[in-house]
Amino acid sequence: MPQQQSPEQGNASIIDGAIAQQAMPTKLRSVFIINTGIANMASLEASFRRLGIATVRTLNPDDVLNASHVVLPGVGAFAAGMEELHRHGLVDAICERRSLNRPLLAVCLGMQLLCGSSQESTDTGADRNAQTNAQTDAPTNLGATSDIRGLSLFNTNVIRFPSHVRIPHFGWNQVEVPAGAKFLKPGYAYFANSYHLASIPSTTTSAHAVTIAAHTIHGDISFVSAVESGSLLACQFHPELSGAWGEDLIARWFTETSA
């Protein structure tokens, strides 16, 4: 019998014993995906399914705090993403989960939400067009402080790519990984981002130091493409769309953090 306490087991104990016995193995091999809105959830789910891991979409703070494995996905805008997390009362759950070093996979915008703020949320729609089109220089509110705070688990902010590189940063690029990584290996990953983390300090506001930061180069810009910290794996790229390399990465994160 697995020793790990989880909410699924708690729930299972109050239902019919036969069902609980049937349900438990599946539930113990499952990942809870925070359903922050319309994203490419199906791709993420298919990736786990191919690895034999069931997925559950959730907006429940108890799941987000207590489930054995949680994914914070992300496609869309920073402000909208934070708004969704606040609206469903998930901010504290994610932060507490992190402080307890429970396994968390943050993907793309999900990784950016772990930071203090993003230039994206200070951009007006016109700024975003300028940013996407990259036909104009940086908007005038470049230095403005964002009203929208991120989860602030990483002591860094998300910034735009400068206008002299192709934006969005779309396609396969190399991930350079320093020695000692638990999950990450060097290789090509699939990216779709217009904003990035320029750097990340080796400490965080939580008790768990950032131990590994992988980098990727776009044009002449080097940015943080992934972060490992305890049971946390944060990826700017989409591991679920990064072929066998990405699927292996997801598998390593899951198995290495499974008690």
Partner 1 sequence: MLTKRIIPCLDTKDGQVVKGVRFANLRSLGDPAALARAYEEQGADELVILDVSATPEGRRTAYDTISKVRDVLSIPLTVGGGIRESADVVRLLECGADKVSVNTAAVTNPELISHIAQTFGCQCTVLALDAARMLHSSANSSSPENTPPRWEVVTHSGAKRTGLDVIEWARQAQELGAGEILLTSWDKDGTRSGYDLELLTAVSTAVRIPVIASGGAATPTHLAEAFSAGADAVLAASIFHDGDYTVLDVKQYLQSVGVSVRI
Binding flag, residue 129, partner 1 (CB under 8 A): yes
Looking at beta carbons only, is 160 or 169 nearer to partner 1? 169
Which of 193, 204, 206, 225 is the binder for partner 1 (CB under 8 A)?
Answer: 193
The minimum distance between CB 88 and partner 1, in angstroms, equals: 19
Binding flag, residue 171, partner 1 (CB under 8 A): yes
The gap from C-alpha 103 to its chain's centroid, in whole angstroms, comes to: 11
Binding flag, residue 194, partner 1 (CB under 8 A): yes
The minimum distance between CB 241 and partner 1, in angstroms, equals: 5
Binding flag, residue 244, partner 1 (CB under 8 A): yes
Find where tokens 């220089």 sit. 137
Binding flag, residue 217, partner 1 (CB under 8 A): yes
Please state, as a whole number, how many other Cβ atoms lie within 10 Å of the Cβ of residue 31. Answer: 22
Which of 1, 38, 179, 259 is the binder for partner 1 (CB under 8 A)?
Answer: 38
Residue range at the interface with partner 1 (CB under 8 A); choices 25-33, 84-92, 185-193, 196-204: 185-193
Separation between Cα atoms, residue 157 and residue 153, nearest integer Å: 11
Separation between Cα atoms, residue 141 and residue 151, nearest integer Å: 22
Residue range at the interface with partner 1 (CB under 8 A); choices 41-49, 89-97, 144-152, 198-206: 41-49
Assess contact for 31 and 70: CB atoms under 8 A. yes
Phi, psi of 67 (to 5 degrees): -60, 155
Which of 135, 140, 143, 145 is the binder for partner 1 (CB under 8 A)?
Answer: 135
Q: How far is CA 80 from CA 74, 93, 141, 196, 209, in A?
A: 10, 18, 19, 17, 28
Looking at beta carbons only, is 231 or 236 nearer to partner 1? 236
Looking at beta carbons only, is 30 or 47 nearer to partner 1? 47
Binding flag, residue 40, partner 1 (CB under 8 A): yes
Binding flag, residue 133, partner 1 (CB under 8 A): yes
Site string for partner 1, 67-96 (x = CB under 8 A): --------xxx-------------------
Which of 20, 139, 155, 172 is the binder for partner 1 (CB under 8 A)?
Answer: 172
Binding flag, residue 185, partner 1 (CB under 8 A): no
Q: Is 157 left (phi over 0), alpha (psi -120 to 50) or beta?
A: beta
Binding flag, residue 243, partner 1 (CB under 8 A): yes
Task: Return residues touching partner 1 (CB under 8 A).
Answer: 38-43, 46-47, 49-50, 75-77, 129, 132-135, 163, 166-174, 188, 190-194, 217-218, 238, 240-244, 246-247
